[in-house]
Structure 1
Amino acid sequence: MDVNQETVANPFGMDEDCRQCPALCDTRTQIVHGYGDVSAEFLVLGDAPGPGADRTGVPFTGDADGRAVLDLLADLGFVESPERDEPTVDNVFLTSLTRCRHPERPPTDDEVRNCEDFLTAEVRMINPEIILPIGQRALSALAYEYTTKPPAELDVEDAHATTIRGRGFELVPATSPDEWTDERRAALFEHLRSLLDRDYRQTKGRRSR
């Protein structure tokens, strides 16, 4: 798989006409692959493209829930112009478990399985230090694949704004943005900032996009 960091949109050149999920082919506007810095140490994982991402082709853009995530990342210094359909990002990669949106329901288990290869390839190619799973579905998927904990033992409500050790990286779970109170957002921001201050030094001289 070739890496093209001249573009932040689908930099790994993944299939943009995938038809593994027939039920989604007629409901999606486009396939939404990952977006960001291929050498990022932070990866943000949602469960599926939101209505905005389905329109823009960029995860977490174009709607209120995604904007809440991007605004948090902007406050941490990873995103500039979070209001844009193609924000400037540095040292972060945005992606999701599934790549197509159904407007009336969440992804099925089969649809998540059909997209596993896309996510596995992104994680392996990027090799992030920290993954932020947004919501229970994303946390459970990562727990099954990348931690020693059974997914049933991890509740995103309890794990919000904490650190869970994974295989080769750390997970910092977050509840879905539509469930963020001021206190939850502040807790997540402070926890991530403490990781930046204590355990992690941002790589200087990265090429922003």
Structure 2
Amino acid sequence: MNRAALIQSVIGLGPSWEARPGWFEQHPAALNRPPETLVAIDIEPEASLAPPRQDAVTSPQPDVPLVPPPGVDIAPPVLPPLPQVQASPLLEWDALERAVRDCRDCRLCQTRTQTVFGRGNKQARWLLIGEAPGEQEDKQGQPFVGRAGQLLDNMLSATGLDRDRDVYIANVLKCRPPGNRNPSGDEIATCQNYLIQQIRHIQPTLILALGRFAAQTLLQTEKGIGQLRGKLHSYQDIPLIVSYHPAYLLRNQPDKHKAWQDLIFAKKTFGRLSAD
């Protein structure tokens, strides 16, 4: 097995010819998707990207929204514009954690098991931001601990990143929406000051926004992932790259290769930023 095939096998990518011809093109999400213009990305494997061996993922299926059945036309919800949040006095890290743990500022406090603050190295140069806790995250109080988290771990390892040492992982929302439904605009607006303070503490070199809600919240845009990925954006003068959420990739296998391209793009971008 050559190097590229080994890396793809670690993150669950099969050869591109395994997908049934025309299957993904006829998917309702693809039929409703506007034309995309992507920036070409050089994904030639680098010497530093040799992945470690990973055990097969066997944990239970996460509680995530299902793809609509064929023939059902369901347009994705569009986030309303969020109100601008004035910068609050920066809390100490421990005080910020307590504020999140005790927060009762929106209705999600009534249904959560516990809040999910984040995890990793708070001095890391990479900051990964997802959408909201899922069922397993709500139970364990840590982000990305289910099957989606294991996929993310494998992808990070394949690029030479350790999730506990090299990155910090947080979510836009600190509480799980019931049934893993989409976050609402008012919930995001209420919770975003916590994320802003985390970013101010960490001061990352690069932000990787995972999923549409994280990208739209940080970039204050209604554009979809297809229009945002493959480009270098900026949040508060911090370079930002957009990619798919791992939970989405578990349901949409053909886009795993695109997510791998995004990680290679992020790795190369980080290398240039670190050299400046």
Tell me the TM-score normalized by structure 1.
Answer: 0.76
Structure 2 stretches lacking a partner, 5+ long: 1-90
Query: SS where residue 162 of structure 1 aligns?
Result: coil
Match of 1:19 in 2: 104
Percent of residue pairs bearing the same amino acid type: 26
Bigger relative contact order, structure 1 or 2 (CA pairs below 8 A, ≥6 apart): 2
Over 3 Å counting, the alpha-carbon distance change for 1:57 and 1:175 in structure 2 is same
Deviations 1:132-182 (A, max 9, x none): 1111111111112xxxxxx13x43123224321333211110122223534
- Please tell me whether residue 79 in structure 1 is matched to residue 154 in structure 2: no
Match of 1:195 in 2: 269
Match of 1:207 in 2: none
Match of 1:51 in 2: 135
Q: Is the 8 Å Cα contact of residues 31 and 57 (structure 1) preserved in structure 2?
A: yes
- Please tell me whether residue 121 in structure 1 is matched to residue 197 in structure 2: yes
Deviations 1:80-120 (A, max 9, x none): 6xxxxxxxx11311111111112322221111111111011
Distance 1:56 1:136 in 2: 24
Match of 1:135 in 2: 211
Report the residue type matching 2:139 in the other structure: R
Over 3 Å counting, the alpha-carbon distance change for 1:50 and 1:161 in structure 2 is farther
Q: 1:165 aligns with which of 200, 213, 234?
A: 234
Considering fraction of residues, name the structure with more helix. 2
Shift of 1:66: 2.5
- Please tell me whether residue 32 in structure 1 is matched to residue 116 in structure 2: yes
Tell me the TM-score normalized by structure 2.
Answer: 0.59
Match of 1:155 in 2: 224
Shift of 1:13: 4.2
Shift of 1:65: 1.9
Query: SS where residue 99 of structure 1 aligns?
Result: coil
RMSD after superposition = 2.2
Shift of 1:11: 7.8
Q: Is the 8 Å Cα contact of residues 11 and 34 (structure 1) preserved in structure 2?
A: no
Over 3 Å counting, the alpha-carbon distance change for 1:76 and 1:14 in structure 2 is farther
Distance 1:182 1:110 in 2: 31
Structure 1 stretches lacking a partner, 5+ long: 5-9, 81-88, 145-150, 202-209
User: Which 4+ stretches in 1 moved above 4 angstroms?
Assistant: 10-13
Distance 2:263 2:177 in 1: 30
Match of 2:259 in 1: 185
Over 3 Å counting, the alpha-carbon distance change for 1:166 and 1:41 in structure 2 is same
Distance 1:11 1:71 in 2: 30
